[in-house]
Amino acid sequence: MNNPVGVFDSGVGGLSVLAALRAELPHERFVYFADTAFAPYGERGDGYVIDRSRKVVEQLIAEHGIKALVVACNTATTAAIHLLRAEHPALPIVGLEPALKPAVATSRTGHISVMATRGTLASARYAALRDSFAGSADVRAVPCDGLVKAIEGFDTAAIAELCARYMAEAGPLGDAPGQVDTVVLGCTHYPLVKNELQRHAPPELRFIDTGAPVAQQARRVLASLGRLAQGGEGGLVLQGSGDPAVLEAAAAHWLQQPQAASAAAATTA
């Protein structure tokens, strides 16, 4: 089945997941939708995120006939994925959640910080995930206001300042008793600035994100339904609700492989 796989995020953060998907599924065609005109999601209410998620998914289905969907946004996953699955039962949908399970499994000190948007950290879905590990680890929430906006705007000065601030809030960092030795990157934007985050961390600190596990799950889902592409070079279409030139520049910068056929911007109603 050679229909494309839809991937969407509120902005360019999902490109970190897209990179993992393209590495795991090189024969697949992808349509990446960045809802930048209506971002950020992480500092909005659930109703807003649900409305935008529904409209983007309906557009991906209508225009591209997607055979599967990856919700490459933690905030949209927590707010809307249960409704999207109910409304589109024939469409396999893979979502994200902060990678607490692997973090707890690998942490030596039992102290973990989760860097995420305020919307993700305030959600009932995240609370249930966090509470499921109560007693197994001390989990600290670090809401990173403004970091998504800085990444979207290629604002290197703001990125540097915010990464330093939030890494300080995530600490004390290290592998001694009582120190945080594992940081979960609970927003798809944050792996894009991992190098900057590492500047403020001891070398033994672990960063965990969801790109590779999500790509592996997408492969399992497609294979189980007989929807894996059989051969071919794959492909990528970039689409969004904002300026297409900004999305193209972001893809060239963060993917470091500008091999996309870019669709015109298509603002959803």
Catalytic residue among 72, 76, 144, 187: 187
| Rounded CA separation 38/25 (Å) | 29
Q: Does 135 belong to an annotated binding site?
A: no
Dig out the tokens for 54 from the structure.
Answer: 């529904």
In whole angstroms, how far apart are CA 108 and each of 141, 210, 241?
A: 19, 20, 43
Does the annotation place 36 within a ligand binding site?
A: no
Report whether 88 belongs to an annotated binding site: no
163 catalytic? Reply is no
In the chain, helix, strand, coil percent, each to 5? 45, 15, 40
Residue 195 annotated in ligand binding = no
- Round to whole Å and give the CA distance between 150 and 31: 24
For the question of residue 73 being annotated catalytic, the response is: yes
Which 3 state secondary structure label does DSSP give 64? Answer: helix
Return the sign of the alpha-carbon dihedral for residues 25, 189, 129, 69. negative
Contact 178, 109 (CB under 8 A): yes
Q: Is 75 annotated as a binding residue?
A: yes
Q: Of the candidates 9, 85, 75, which has an alpha carbon nearest to the alpha carbon of residue 46? A: 75
CA 136 – CA 260 distance, rounded (Å): 44
Q: Helices in the chain by DSSP H: which ranges?
A: 15-24, 46-64, 74-87, 100-106, 118-121, 124-131, 147-152, 156-170, 194-198, 211-224, 244-255
Residues with a catalytic annotation lie at 73, 187
Q: Which residues are part of a known binding site for substrate? A: 9-10, 41-42, 74-75, 188-189
